[in-house]
Homo-oligomer: A and B are copies of this chain.
Amino acid sequence: MNTSESIRARRSIRKYQEGYVIPKEHVEMILEAAMMAPSACNRRPWDFVVVENREILAQIMEIHPHTQMLRTASLAIVVCGRPDLQDGICEGFWPQDCGAAIQNLLLQAQELGYGTCWCGCYPVMKRAEALQKLLDVSGIPLATVAVGKAAEAPEAKGHYDASRVKWLR
């Protein structure tokens, strides 16, 4: 699939084929794609937690209410921001940098044949802090991304909207 098709074919998937195991090399390729995103001053303000453990996935579902699709997903990738890596002129860019990394993650997963669902965490601090404790990480959990083999094919929600564009020629 070329990039244009990929961008337009991506969907948020909430039903997956249960029990599907994603090979480690695919997970690494997905993480590599995320880490190829640009970031302010190239500080790469992100860490990743790959959760395949079903018990921990169940705990994430309790903490983070919009992640119920994790029941059938193969795994979750929790993307954590690292504001501590962005000081001086780079301060505060980490949420948008992580957003770019996540978009690469979604597109790469799709090209490998997987569905994904991006579940927002930060800036809901109660949710972020509970996940941080559960996963025992120092970064700030920004999003939980479900990954698995899709078992549904929803319609696209994105579209071009000319009213959102101003032209200065």
Contacts and interface: CB of A to CB of B under 8 A. Distances in A.
Given A47-B166, A93-B120, A120-B40, A160 B107 contact: no
A150 to B, nearest CB: 15
Contacts of A158: 35-38, 44
Contacts of A99: 95-100, 102-103
Number of copies: 2
A3 B107 contact: yes
A63 to B, nearest CB: 14
A93 B123 contact: yes
A70 interface: no
A6 interface: yes
Interface in A45-103: 46-53, 56, 90-93, 95-103
A36 B135 CA distance: 31
Given A99-B95, A110-B3, A166 B36 contact: no
A15 interface: no
A118 interface: yes
Given A32-B159, A38-B118, A100-B102, 17 more contacts: A4-B29, A8-B33, A10-B38, A32-B160, A36-B159, A37-B103, A44-B158, A48-B164, A49-B167, A53-B169, A96-B98, A96-B99, A96-B102, A96-B122, A98-B99, A99-B99, A99-B100
11 contacts: A3-B6, A4-B111, A35-B158, A35-B164, A36-B156, A36-B158, A48-B164, A49-B168, A96-B98, A96-B143, A107-B107
